[in-house]
Amino acid sequence: MLITATEAQNRFGEIMAAKEPVTITKYGRPDKVLIDAKEFEALQAMEDAYWLDEARKGRESGYLGVEESERMLEEYMNAKD
């Protein structure tokens, strides 16, 4: 469903009953998308899984963690003094 922001204000009850995502436009361009809470949670879980996988890949490839990177940077900066 694609509706304008003004229509969204006037048809709020209908929008809340929608079974599909609702795209709300402003000035003719998509601005917001209203989706079911369960669908949003599923999208968040997929994003979390993606970033967890990326972190694991980084660790396996020898990427230094934040703490170790900061420690090394501090050692380097102190060595220049």
- Please state the three-class secondary structure of 28-69 as a single string: CEEEEEECCHHHHHHHHHHHHHHHHHHHHHHHHCCCCCHHHH
Residue 33: pLDDT over 80: yes
Mean pLDDT on 31-50: 95
Q: Are 75 and 43 part of one and the same domain?
A: yes
pLDDT band at 38 (very low <50, low <70, confident <90, very high): very high
Number of domains the chain is built from:
2
- The number of C-alpha atoms within 13 Å of 40 and in the hemisphere containing its C-beta is 7
Model confidence over 46-74: pLDDT tens digits? 999 998 888 888 888 887 788 888 888 88
Mean pLDDT taken over the chain? 89
- The number of C-alpha atoms within 13 Å of 23 and in the hemisphere containing its C-beta is 8
Q: Which residues pair with 26 in a beta bridge?
A: 29
Pairing of strands 2-4, 22-26: parallel
Q: Are 48 and 75 part of one and the same domain?
A: yes
Q: Which domain holds residue 31?
A: 2-35
